[in-house]
Amino acid sequence: MYDARRNSLRRKIKRKIQRMPPGLVVALSFLMTATIGAVLLALPAATKGDSLGGLDSFFTAISAVCVTGLVVIDIGAKLTLFGKIVVLTLIQIGGLGIMTFSVFLFLFIGKSLGTKEKWIISDSFLPSPIVDIGQLIRMIFVFTFTVEMAGAVLLFLVWRREMPLEPAIFSSVFHAVSSFCNAGFSFFSTSFIKYQGNILLNVTVMSLIVLGGLGFPVVYEFYWRFRNRKDRRRYHFSLHTKLVLYTTAFLIIGGALLIFFIERGPEWEILSLKNRTLASLFQSVTARTAGFNTVEISALEPATLFIIIMLMFIGASPGSTGGGIKTTTLAVFVAIIRSRMAGRQSIGVFRFAIPDGKIGRALSVLVMAVMTVSAGLIFLLVFHMDIAQESADYFLSALFETVSAFATVGLSMGATTSLNPAGKIVIIVLMFLGRVGLLTMAYVVTSRLRPITYRYADGRIMIG
């Protein structure tokens, strides 16, 4: 009797999940994973000394599963090995996506995928649907763990003489995963400031960040090009890959040059040319959703901070481990401006026309992102009105914190540790929306609305 009721309950739950919009499945997956992580981090075994409170443990878990890196505790000093393993697991799951792991387990045990699972994976990782989802998932896991393993080996060469063997190995693995997943979590309270001039660490971490931020669609195209390298026919990269590569290179180089020539703070004046070049390049790369730093962020010039805010807002590329509005959104927006200024009706780039649906999606992402960041900033200022009144610099610090949370970056000017409970909730919501995706949440909210089958008459308005 008990087994029959249990089986009936399982069937009901399964039917409800199957009827859910795919976007809601993704959102609930992230939320449930973060909740489980928060429960584990609240255990006495996860911390040294007093246990974490409910809000702090949930904040840390959300930050990890959303691969953000903002923390209200010193994870290196506060968490035990068990707690650090929990954070590491959440980062890895959050970076690749909960549904990706679920599909991998389905494939591993030999079960077939349903239409919903195929739709979610294809929509998350590819600009166009493919049939062999299993091959895509296997490629993602092989690429991810290969790159992370290589990064861990290189980081181990940095720390092997500074730490005992076991801590050096774990630290190398943790920071390699955190770098590739663009999480920004570090055991060091000052991030990588100590290793500002270490070329091996800087190059390794930057390479992991860039590879994780390019997005799996780009990696998948490179994989196919390598696999068909003996084919005599020339392989042409898709428009998506071209936009990602060109935009990424432009943002990294442009951001580094601006930071190098603009920054005149006292901390930079004493740097050698090598260290200054490394620091400029590292800050340009890490601002695109990674969250590590090799200089004190709060000591930077206001102009430099604004450049970093813009880089954080743009973020990584679609289908990657990073957040932000994404590089392709910026590329489409620039293409719209160029086409309109040239008097062209169609929007094109690299001799390809961009579909109207993609243009509308890019503009929707941009507008919704600006509105979300603005709302988050207002709430943060309201909830910390006493601090804002005492410090004239708090507005910039709050704006930096808000964009960092929404773009899942993790950089901070120091405002995270001064957040009150209401402020922590604001940052949690921003991190969640930034990782799950604004359009995903919009689809969840509007999925039950009836589609409109009619069209209104055109109206006359003046613009500009």
How far are the Cα atoms of 181, 204, 305, 448 from residue 284, in angstroms, in the given order? Answer: 17, 15, 11, 42
What pLDDT tens digit does each residue of the chain (464 aa) get? Answer: 555 565 565 566 556 555 666 666 777 778 888 999 999 999 999 998 888 888 999 999 999 998 888 888 889 889 999 999 999 999 998 887 655 655 555 555 445 555 555 555 555 555 555 546 667 777 788 888 999 999 999 999 999 988 899 999 999 999 999 999 988 899 888 889 999 989 999 999 999 999 988 888 888 888 777 776 666 556 677 888 889 999 999 999 999 999 999 988 777 888 888 999 999 999 999 998 888 999 999 888 899 999 999 999 998 888 787 888 889 899 999 988 888 887 777 787 887 888 887 888 888 888 889 999 999 999 999 998 888 777 778 889 999 999 999 998 989 888 888 889 999 999 999 999 888 876 565 555 555 555 566 677 767 776 66
Domain contains 406: yes
Domain contains 7: no
In this predicted structure, what is the pLDDT of residue 288? 84
In this predicted structure, what is the pLDDT of residue 158? 92
Question: How many domains are contained in the chain?
Answer: 1
Residue 228 and residue 253 in contact, taking contact as beta carbons nearer than 8 Å: no
CA 357 to mean position of chain CA atoms: 24
In this predicted structure, what is the pLDDT of residue 171? 93
Q: Which residues pair with 353 in a beta bridge?
A: 348
10 Å CB burial of residue 115 (0-12, 13-18, 19+) is exposed
Domain contains 206: yes
Question: What is the β-pairing status of strands 352-353 and 348-349?
Answer: antiparallel
Residue 316 and residue 288 in contact, taking contact as beta carbons nearer than 8 Å: yes
Strands (E), 200-355: 348-349, 352-353
DSSP-based three-state secondary structure for 79: strand
- pTM of the shown model: 0.87
In this predicted structure, what is the pLDDT of residue 268? 82
Structural tokens at position 205: 């971490």
Domain contains 198: yes
CA atoms within 13 A on the CB side of 315: 33
In this predicted structure, what is the pLDDT of residue 438? 65
DSSP-based three-state secondary structure for 270: coil
Within 8 A by CB and 6+ apart from 181, the residues are 67, 91, 92, 94, 95, 96, 212, 321
The one-letter code for the residue type at 80 is T
In this predicted structure, what is the pLDDT of residue 95? 82
In this predicted structure, what is the pLDDT of residue 284? 94
In this predicted structure, what is the pLDDT of residue 386? 82
Domain contains 25: yes
Distance CA 103, CA 132 (A): 12
In this predicted structure, what is the pLDDT of residue 324? 87
Domain contains 11: no
Domain contains 454: no
In this predicted structure, what is the pLDDT of residue 109? 46
Distance CA 139, CA 93 (A): 16
Q: Which domain holds residue 101?
A: 19-227+238-443
Domain contains 184: yes
Distance CA 154, CA 194 (A): 17
